[in-house]
Structure 1
Amino acid sequence: MKNDSSSSRRKFLQHIGATSILAAAAPLSSLATNAKAEERLLSYERKTSANDKIRLGVIGYGVQGHFDLNAALKVPGVELAGICDLYTGRIENAKELHGKGLFTTINYKELLDRKDIDAVFICTTDCWHARITLDALAKGKHVYCEKPMVYQISEGYPVIAAAKKSGKVVQVGSQRVSSIGYAKAKELLAAGEIGKLNMVNAVYDRQSSIGAWQYTIPKDANALTTNWDTFIEATEKMAFDAKKFFWWRAFKEVGTGVAGDLFVHLLSGTHFITNSKGPESIYSTGQFSYWKDGRNLPDVMSGVMQYPDSKEHEAFQLTLQVNFISGTGGQEVIRLIGSEGIIEVNGSNLTVKHSLMPQAPGFGGYDSLFTFSKSMQAEMQKEYEAKWTAEQRKRKTKEDIIFKALEGYNDHLDHITNFFDAIRANKPVVEDAQFGFRAAAPALACNESYLSKKIVRWDPESMKLT
C-alpha cells in the first residue's frame, strides 16, 4: 500500500453494530486496497429489553461491588434485592444509597436463602470466591463472580463441575473480554492482518497510592465492625489487621496480589483474542520497589509464559508486566506481535501497524559483503541484481489503521449486560467458569512461581499442573 503524502489524510468511519460486530465489519482484504484508510470508528448500538425482571443480590459491597451494582442497575429490568457485607459501615452505606427498606445482612447465606433473588454478584475478597460461588449455585442462583474466579488452583475444578451441573449462568468479571475493541482485535488477528502471531506483550502499570491498593481505612475499623472472625473463616486464623481487611489484595493470606488482580485481566484478554486455552510453562519474578507498607506480595512483577502450538493458534510467547510505581503514569496495553506487524489494544481502542519484509533476502549494508575482496563483492552484486528485481528488493508498505470506540462506550456495562442477557435467553456467556479458570490458573501459578522461584508446568487442555 502506498503512503499518503498529502498533508491531510481523509478519515473513514466504519460503523459496526454491537449485535454483529464481526459480520458487519468491512472485509479485511479491502483494507489493503483502500489507500486512504486511516481511522475507523467502532460504533455500538445494543438493544436492551426489560423483559423478565431479574432480582439481584450483591455479596461484598466494597469498591468493585459498588461499580458492579451501579452498572447492573443501568440494565433494564434488573432490580436490587439485597446486599451483604461484613463491614457494618458498608451496610449503613447500602441503606443510605438504596433505601432503609433494603434487605441487608452480614451473612451471605441469608441472602442466598431468599426466594426473591435470582442472581448474585460475588465481589468479595479472593479467598471467598469459590466457597460463595458453590453455595450460590447450590441455592439455584445465577452467579457473576469477580476475577480471579478462585483463590487457589485446586478450587477451580469443583466450581466448573458445579456450574455445569447447576444449569445456571456463571460469568467471571474480567469485563474487557466483552469489549468491542477486543472483538475487533480478535477478528483482525484471525484474518492474518499482522501475519503469524509469535509474541504478546501485556502491561498493566499504575502510579498512585490508590492504584497500589492503599485504600482509605475507616476510623471505626476493628474486629467487631468488620466481623473479623467471619472474614477469616475462608482462610487462616490470625489477629485482626485492618490492612488485611481493606487492603486485602496486597496480602497472600486473603488476596492474590498483582497476579490475581491484573495479570488475570491481561490473560483473559489474550486468551479471548487468540482463542487460546492457555500456556504450558509459567515463570514469574517480582520485587518490593516502593510500596513498602507491610504487604507480602510485590508491587513490581513480571511473568513469561510459553504457549504451545495448537489447533487454535501457533506457538507464541506472552510477557506480563505490572509496575505500581511506573514513570509512565500508568498504562494498560496488550500488544500482539506478528510477522508482518502489531495490533496494540488500549482499552476498547486499537492500532494496527504494519512492517513487511521485502521478498528478496538482505544484501549489503550491515552485512559481511564489504569484508570480501572487491572482485568477489562485484561478482555477487551482479548475481543478486540478476536474481531479484528492484521491486522484489523493496519493503512493501501498508497503511496503519486506528480503530476507536465511540465516546462513552463502556465495556464494563457491556460485560454485565451480557450476563443478564444470558440469563434471559439461556445462552452462553463470554467468560464462563472454564474460561475464567483458564485465565485464573496461570495467574495464580505466577504467584507460585514467584514464591518458589521455579518454572510452573501447566497442561492447558486438561487444565492441570504437570
Structure 2
Amino acid sequence: MSNQDRNSRRRFLRQIGATSLLAVASPLASLAAKENAEERMLHYEKKISTGDKIRLGVIGFGIQGHYDLQTALKVPGVELAGICDLYTGRLENAKELFGKELFTTRNYKELLDKKDIDAVIIATTDCWHARITKDALAKGKAVYCEKPMVYKISEGPEVIAAQRKSGKVLQVGSQRVSSIGLAKAKELLAAGEIGKLNMVNAVYDRQSSIGAWQYTIPKDANAATTDWDRFIEVTEKMAYDSKKFFWWRAFKEVGTGVAGDLFIHLLSGTHFITNSKGPHTIYSTGQFSYWKDGRNMPDVMSGVMQYADTPEHPAFQLTLQVNFVSGTGGQEIIRFVGSEGVMEVHGNDIAIRHSIMPEAPGFGGYDSVFTFSKAMQQEMQKEYDAKWTAAQRRSPRKEDINFKAPDGYDEHLDHFTHFFDAIRTGKPVVEDAVFGFRAAAPALSCNESYFQKKVITWDPLNMKLV
C-alpha cells in the first residue's frame, strides 16, 4: 500500500475511529474502545477486494436519504448501485449527482430484484418501513432502516421474525447509539458517577419552519409526479395532498409525528445508556401551539414513562419533551438524575455535576427545631453534636467531569461503519430489530396515549401491549 493510500485510510479512521481518540479526550476511556479502533484500522488498511465491496441501493431519496447515502459512501468499499423514489424530481436529482447511467426506479421491488445489490437504505415515509424491510430481507438484502423501525406497533414482531428468518443484517437508523458520547455516558452511569439513577429528563426542541417539517414543496408536485396511487398503497385511500407527501411527518395517516421523529432518538439514547428494555407505563399529552398549517400531529408534546426496577437498572421515571416553537432557539439534551449528581448529555458532550447528601441528618436552619422550647432546643442540639462529627455533617465533595468528543467527530459515520462491518464480519450491529422495536413501541405508544387520552401499559420484556 502506498503512503498516500495509508494516510488516506488513517484520515478516514480519524473520522470513524474517533473511538481511538477517546483515551486522549478523557482519562476515563475504556481500553476496549481503543482496541476496537485499532482492530478497525487494521481491517480498513487491507486492500478492499471484490468480495469486500458492498453494493448499495437507496429506497427513499428525500432529505434523510441524501444524508444517509452521502455518509454511507464515505466507508471504504461501499458503492452505489441504484436509487428508488416516487417523486420524479428526486430521480432526476440522483442522475445529476451520480451520472446518467445510474439505475433509478419508482418501484422499490425492481431495485430489490437487482442481483448486484447487497444492502439497502430505507429512508421512506414511516408507513412504508415495515413492508419494504420485510421484502428486502426476503430478497437477501442487508437493511439499514431509518427510525422508527415500524409505523404501527403490530408490525414489530413481523419485522423481527423476518430478520431472524433471513439471517441478514438489519440496523435501525438512530445513529446516536453508535456515538462515543453515549458510550462514555453509559460507562460513567455504570461506574456509579451519579449514584443510583431515579429520573431522566429528555428534551428535543426546535424553533424554525424547517425544523417543524415545513419543507419546500416543488412546483411540479402532483399526483402523477409523486406516483400518489403507489404512495397510498399501504394507507387508507386519500385524495392527492402535496403536504401529506412532502410534509408527511405532520400527518398521522402516513407519519408518526414528533414521537416517531424525535422521541425515538431520546428513547434510543436512554435505552442504550441504561441497558433498559423499556418502560411499563406510558402517558403523553400534546397541543397545537404555532404550526397550524393543516397538520394533525401536535407541535408541542410531552410524555411520561415509568421504568421498573430490573437487573439492568433501578426504577426511574423518564420525561420526554418536544417543542417546535421553543424560545430556547432549540436544544437537545438528556439529563440523568441520580442520588449523587446529574449527568447531562448534549449530543456527544457530557457534563457531570455532583451533589451528595451528608451522612448526618439535617438539624437546624429551616427546620422545626426553632419552634420548640429553648430547653428542648439546647438538649437536642447537645445530643446531635455528640452523635455526629463535623465531617459527617458536611456534604462529601467529588470532582465534576466534563467529556468532549473530538472535533469533527461524526456518529452518523460511525453508525454506518458498524452496519457495513456487520455485513462483512458477521458481528452484531449496535441497533438491531429488537432494540429498534423496543424504542419504537414506547414512542408510538405516546401517539396512542395522546389520541386515546389514556395510560398505555407495555410489556418491555415480551414486547407487547398489555
Normalising by structure 1, report the TM-score: 0.92
**Deviation string for 1:42-70 (max 9, x for gaps)?**
xx886262450000000000000000000
Amino acid in structure 2 at the alignment position of 1:264: I
What are the residue-to-residue correspondences of 1:313-392 with 2, within 5 Å? Answer: 313-392=313-392
CA distance in 1, matches of 2:255, 2:20: 36
* Residue matched to 1:453: 453
Question: Are 2:15 and 1:18 equivalent residues in the alignment?
Answer: no
Counterpart contact for 1:260–1:440, Cα < 8 Å:
yes
Q: 1:27 offset after TM fit, Å?
A: 5.4
Amino acid in structure 2 at the alignment position of 1:386: A
* Residue matched to 1:438: 438
**Deviation string for 1:314-371 (max 9, x for gaps)?**
1000000000000000000110110000110010111011001111001111100010
Amino acid in structure 1 at the alignment position of 2:129: H
* Residue matched to 1:210: 210
Name stretches of at least 5 consecutive residues in structure 1 with no aligned partner. Answer: 1-15, 29-43
**Deviation string for 1:140-176 (max 9, x for gaps)?**
0000000000000000001001111111000000000
* Residue matched to 2:61: 61
Counterpart contact for 2:145–2:170, Cα < 8 Å:
yes
CA distance in 2, matches of 1:323, 1:85: 31
What are the residue-to-residue correspondences of 1:31-70 with 2, within 5 Å? Answer: 47=41, 49=44, 50-51=48-49, 52-70=52-70
Amino acid in structure 1 at the alignment position of 2:260: G
Give the 3 Å change call, closer, same or farther, for CA 27–146 of structure 1 in structure 2. closer
Name stretches of at least 5 consecutive residues in structure 2 with no aligned partner. Answer: 1-16, 30-36
CA distance in 2, matches of 1:367, 1:192: 31
* Residue matched to 1:89: 89
CA distance in 2, matches of 1:129, 1:27: 39
CA distance in 2, matches of 1:256, 1:234: 15
Q: 1:239 offset after TM fit, Å?
A: 0.3
Q: 1:18 offset after TM fit, Å?
A: 1.9
* Residue matched to 1:178: 178
Amino acid in structure 2 at the alignment position of 1:272: F
Amino acid in structure 1 at the alignment position of 2:88: T
CA distance in 1, matches of 2:160, 2:311: 23
CA distance in 1, matches of 2:219, 2:418: 38
Counterpart contact for 1:153–1:441, Cα < 8 Å:
yes
Amino acid in structure 2 at the alignment position of 1:329: G
* Residue matched to 2:132: 132
Q: 1:397 offset after TM fit, Å?
A: 1.5
**Deviation string for 1:186-227 (max 9, x for gaps)?**
000001010000000000000000000000000000000000
CA distance in 2, matches of 1:26, 1:308: 33
CA distance in 1, matches of 2:322, 2:419: 29
Q: 1:25 offset after TM fit, Å?
A: 6.8
CA distance in 2, matches of 1:21, 1:107: 44
CA distance in 1, matches of 2:28, 2:378: 47
* Residue matched to 1:32: none
Counterpart contact for 2:204–2:321, Cα < 8 Å:
yes
Q: 1:234 offset after TM fit, Å?
A: 1.2
Counterpart contact for 2:18–2:180, Cα < 8 Å:
no
Of Structure 1 and Structure 2, the greater helix share is in 2
CA distance in 1, matches of 2:397, 2:20: 33
What are the residue-to-residue correspondences of 1:294-305 with 2, within 5 Å? Answer: 294-305=294-305
**Deviation string for 1:268-291 (max 9, x for gaps)?**
000000000000000000000000
* Residue matched to 2:233: 233
Q: 1:19 offset after TM fit, Å?
A: 6.0
Deviates more, 1:155-164 or 1:394-403: 394-403
Amino acid in structure 2 at the alignment position of 1:449: S
Normalising by structure 2, report the TM-score: 0.92
* Residue matched to 1:247: 247
CA distance in 2, matches of 1:359, 1:17: 41
* Residue matched to 2:192: 192
Q: 1:398 offset after TM fit, Å?
A: 1.5
Question: Are 2:285 and 1:285 equivalent residues in the alignment?
Answer: yes
* Residue matched to 1:72: 72
Counterpart contact for 2:333–2:344, Cα < 8 Å:
yes
Question: Are 2:272 and 1:272 equivalent residues in the alignment?
Answer: yes
Counterpart contact for 1:284–1:446, Cα < 8 Å:
yes
Equivalent position SS for 1:80: strand
Counterpart contact for 2:286–2:301, Cα < 8 Å:
yes
Equivalent position SS for 1:58: strand
Counterpart contact for 1:21–1:183, Cα < 8 Å:
no
* Residue matched to 1:168: 168
Q: 1:20 offset after TM fit, Å?
A: 10
Between the aligned residues of both structures, percent identity stands at 78
* Residue matched to 2:413: 413
Counterpart contact for 1:141–1:168, Cα < 8 Å:
yes
Counterpart contact for 1:356–1:395, Cα < 8 Å:
yes
Amino acid in structure 2 at the alignment position of 1:230: R
